[in-house]
Amino acid sequence: MRPKPVSSFQFPVSSLALLFLILLLLPGCMQQAAPVPQQPTDYSYDLVVKDITTWPRTVYVGQNYSVRATFQIYGRHPPLAYHVNFLDGNQTLYDGNVYNPELIHWVEFNMTKAGEEPKNLRAEITNIDPLHPEPESIRSNNIMRKTIFFQPIGYYGTCDACMHLYYDAVNFVMRQAQSFTVDYELDVHRIGFYLRAPFPNRNDSAILVELRNDTGGKPGSLIATSTINAGEVGPELGWHYAHFQNVTVPPGKYWITLMINDTKSYGVQWARSEGNPYGEVLDTMVLDLMDWPEWDYKLFDFVFQIY
């Protein structure tokens, strides 16, 4: 019996498949990987006038105060510089450039003796970085306008829906007084009283208004006087003003007194609150010439305002 011939080399089928796969992939592995495209740096940002504020928050007539404009940058790559403009009406408070700005920046100015007229303030921020301009579509908040109103000294809650008002008589027998305290020098131009007259008074009948120092918690020495025409006070509640000239008082406590010396006048009624929404507890007094001819305390507040 003759032996079977032996093949010189036999390759398994599975090994052939693996070799074929390697030959297919080899050209791709030899090539260098294509670089991933780099995204350009995002220089977009938003310049914002964040707020215009005062300090103190509530400013009273005659008070010194400060105004502040605050600016903010939103974005990861702020500009190299921007321009700030801050106006009080037509008066320029600040006009300048800010270089290498922080994310939040402000400008602040001290103002003296707030008047009766409101302040119209305007703040604007503008990019001056030519390489990275701010997008046109988000520039609407680059400008802010705000009107600052100044409050008179006193208590002037006159809304009957918010509070219930009562009335105290002012005539040739009854005199009323209200105190107030200021912590700054005050120029007194006019004092307002919320009054009504249940019966008409003669046009030559005058309401005497006195501004007095405080002496031991009561009306003291006279500072200034003025008058209100009692004939102009009608049956409906309304504001009536006594005007003063060249009256300046230093910080301290003062009294306003209201009286009528005309015995033929029916007098008026001065609106008041129930309780003490304003000032101290013992800050109103009455002088009843028919009952007790000395100033006596009352536990409420009259409706008044000082400009």
The Cα angle at residue 264 between residues 260 and 269, in degrees rounded to 5: 45
pLDDT digits (tens, 9 = 90+) for 111-136: 999 999 999 999 999 999 888 888 87
Q: Is the pLDDT of residue 14 over 70?
A: no
- What range defines the domain where residue 288 resides? 153-306
- Whether residue 249 sits in one domain with residue 125: no
Rounded mean pLDDT of the chain? 87
pLDDT digits (tens, 9 = 90+) for 35-80: 666 665 556 788 999 999 999 999 999 999 999 999 999 887 788 9
Structure tokens given for 17: 């498949």
- Whether residue 251 sits in one domain with residue 199: yes
More confident position, 237 or 27: 237
**Domain final position from 148, 183, 210:** 148
Domain annotation covers residue 164: yes
Measured distance CA(223)–CA(253) in Å, rounded: 12
**Kind of pairing between the strands at 206-215 and 218-229:** antiparallel
**Residue 49: which residues within 8 A CB-CB, separation 6 or more?**
69, 70, 71, 123, 124, 125, 141, 142, 143, 144
Looking at the 3D structure of the chain, how many domains does it have?
A: 2
**Domain final position from 148, 176, 199:** 148
- Whether residue 204 sits in one domain with residue 296: yes
Domain annotation covers residue 28: no
- Whether residue 143 sits in one domain with residue 190: no
- Whether residue 166 sits in one domain with residue 129: no
| Helical spans, DSSP H, in the chain | 13-30
pTM of the model: 0.77
